[in-house]
Amino acid sequence: MAGSSGIAATMTPPGAGRVPMGMMQRFLQRRSTIAFLLCLPLILLVAGFVIYPAFYAIYLSMLNKKMTAFVGLGNFAFLLKRHTFQLVIFQSCLFAITAVMMKALLGFILAHLMHNIPSTNQKIWRGLLLVPWVIPLALSTLTWWWMFDPSYSAFNWILNQFGLDNVPWLGVGWIARLCTITVNVWFGTPFFMIMYLAALKSVPEQLYEAAAIDGASAVQKLIFVTLPMMRNIISITVLFSLITTFADFDIVRILTGGGPQDMTHVFATYAFQVGIQSGDIPLGAADSLFMFPILAFAAFFVLRGVTQRTKEIAT
Amino acid sequence: MSASTQANSLHRQRQWALYGSYAALAVFVIIFLVPPFYTIITSLKSSAEISAQDGSPWMVKNPSLENFWYLITYSNFQTYYLNSVMITAVTVVVSMVISVLAAFSLSRMGFWGSGVLSTVVFLTYLVPPSLLFIPLFQIVGSLGLINSVWCLILLYPTLAVPFCTWIMIGYFSSIPKELDEAALIDGANYIQILTKIFIPVAMPGIIAATIFAFTVAWGAFLYPLAYLYTSNQMVLTVGIISDLIRGDVFQWGKIMAACLLASLPPIVIYACLMDYYVAGLTAGATKG
């Protein structure tokens, strides 16, 4: 027990001298006390850099630009009336929903293709398909930017070879929106693939055999066996991805910086522009906070569904 | 006779399905690898070749390593690299210590409120960095850490710890209770149980969590962009952009070479330890 008494000695708080030593030691050797002390760094980290900033953000969002007066919900009302911010809400939702749906679909197809091939070969294919996910997003987005370059675009060169005109990839609002979504889909699809592949592997083979004996077609097997068995992983993966995509910063910031005409701004990039670059901290904080109810809403419903299904399986 | 032809055609069908899968996968791989391929091609071109803008951008006429040589000998780039390595290393160590201790406590020992804490940890993982970077800007500012690598060392663990703790809780919970009961009977204390039994047994989980912490710290972009502004404090992700793009002058060859050099550590780590990472990622999600 030398180790634990050593720990107890170093953990003794100041003023412990007043308590009889035996009692203090017994208190510190109690299982729950040690457990709490082991969690203390985590608690401090989460309280100091997640929970406190969250409340601080609410306070900040209710100040005026110079942070001298309290304006209540003025910043939120101001943002909602602003045309740029309406574009931000629209683009954030469009970006997140379209990209997540594309990623979920492509990931599903890829996972099935991977599941078809012998498992000895899966490793190398999986490695190749994971490359987009492995490269830091900020760096790979730079390459995309260079491929979309207006003067010497690699994509335009290919189009020219087929006799097509140049496309102003990042110069026209809707095309730029599609470009940001494309980059996000390229980056995030591998994540869906590995999650779905793990889910596919966990479906017991007997279920398919039973379905085959009952004369189920491939489509029926997919709808009545595979999808119900994968539902929990699909919802968790979609939730993770929805949150990171909705709160994405890197792609839009590097690729378009929010332009053209603020059409590609999402919440995070707009908050950065308003809060950090223009120095209006309260307005930026208010902008970020708009994400919270949307994310919390999505998280609540997905997690409730998952826990319900887990309980159903358990009972 | 008919049965054997039927079996034959079924076999052939399976063969074609297999070939079809390979073909479709190959198409996906080619599409997915276009950007990395283009990065490599561009990084081998000289500035003169890029600015000439003639011929196919997908080919390199006179491959040279001059961009790489320029970066390796360029003192700012060395600083970014060293800063990235230093910040990542500290973040990984700090995050792993915090999450392993907490996961051990939450999965095995428990105290008043530990169930709530586990839920809070999971919900914290769902908080994206872009939600809180503005209040954190004020907090970091009041601590006097704006434009200092130390603010990143302070903040990166908040991004890595929740998920690492979550993975580790899963791995620790799967260790049979008999193992630590036997150790307790033999007179081991909790710290000994953790270091002698839990950490060695849950090594795959620790590797997965370490890779996750590494990925987060190495690739983070928003925090360094918002909190750092001089080149001696910058890390790779923001340094490359702010240093090699001056006004409207894009030194694409050098930028692409820098991207390649900066992506190398993650690629090497994933190539060696991908199985652990994939296992940890999927285990973390299924236990949610």
pLDDT tens digits, one per residue of B24-72:
999 999 999 999 999 999 999 888 888 777 778 888 888 889 899 999 9
- Output the pLDDT for position B14: 81
State percent of chain A over pLDDT 70: 90
State percent of chain B over pLDDT 70: 95
Give the start-to-end residue ranges of the domains of chain A. 19-60, 77-314
pLDDT tier, A15 (very low <50, low <70, confident <90, very high otherwise):
very low
- Three-state DSSP class for residue B250: strand
Helix axes A31-46, A2-11, angle to 10 degrees: 50
Task: Report the gap between the CA of A107 and the closest CA in chain B (Å).
Answer: 11
Q: Render pLDDT for A95-123 as a digit per residue (tens, 0 to 9).
A: 999 999 999 999 999 999 999 888 888 88
Residue with tokens 């003023």: A15
Burial class (CB in 10 A: 0-12, 13-18, 19+), B48: exposed
**Domain A77-314, architecture per CATH:** Orthogonal Bundle (1.10)
A278 touches chain B (CB under 8 A): no
**A298 to chain B: closest CA residue:** B126
Burial class (CB in 10 A: 0-12, 13-18, 19+), A173: middle
- What is this model's ipTM? 0.89
pTM higher than the cut 0.95: no
Tell me: pLDDT of A201 over 90: no
How many C-alpha atoms does A269 have within 13 Å on its Cβ side?
Answer: 27
Tell me: pLDDT of B275 over 90: no
Tell me: pLDDT of A29 over 70: no
Q: Which of residues 67-96 of A touch B (CB under 8 A)?
A: none
Q: Which of residues 122-181 of A touch B (CB under 8 A)?
A: 123, 125-132, 134-140, 142-144, 146-147, 149, 151-154, 157
Choosing among A32, A50, A235, which should be mutated to test the B contact, i.e. which has the most B CBs within 10 A? A50
Residue B268 with chain A: CB contacts under 8 Å: none
Q: Render pLDDT for B260-271 as a digit per residue (tens, 0 to 9).
A: 999 999 999 998
pLDDT tier, A24 (very low <50, low <70, confident <90, very high otherwise):
low
CB pairs under 8 A between A and B: 286
Residue B123 with chain A: CB contacts under 8 Å: 299
CB A272 to CB B32 under 8 A?
no
Q: Render pLDDT for B109-163 as a digit per residue (tens, 0 to 9).
A: 878 888 899 889 988 988 998 999 999 999 999 999 989 999 999 999 999 999 9
Query: For B158, which of A45, A275, A295 is closest by C-beta distance?
Result: A45
CB B240 to CB A281 under 8 A?
no
CB B267 to CB A136 under 8 A?
no
Minimum mean pLDDT among A13-17, B12-16, B147-151, B253-257: which range?
A13-17
CA-CA-CA-CA torsion sign (B152, A298, A188, A306): positive
Alpha-carbon gap, residue A287 to A258, rounded angstroms: 15
Task: Report the gap between the CA of A31 and the closest CA in chain B (Å).
Answer: 7
The 3 state secondary structure assigned to A84-153 is HHHHHHHHHHHHHHHHHHHHHHHHHHHHHHHHHCCHHHHHHHHHHHCHHHHCCHHHHHHHHHHHCCCCCC
Give me B178's structure tokens.
């008999």
Q: Render pLDDT for B204-232 as a digit per residue (tens, 0 to 9).
A: 899 999 999 999 999 999 999 999 988 88
A1 touches chain B (CB under 8 A): yes
Residue B109 per-residue DSSP state: I
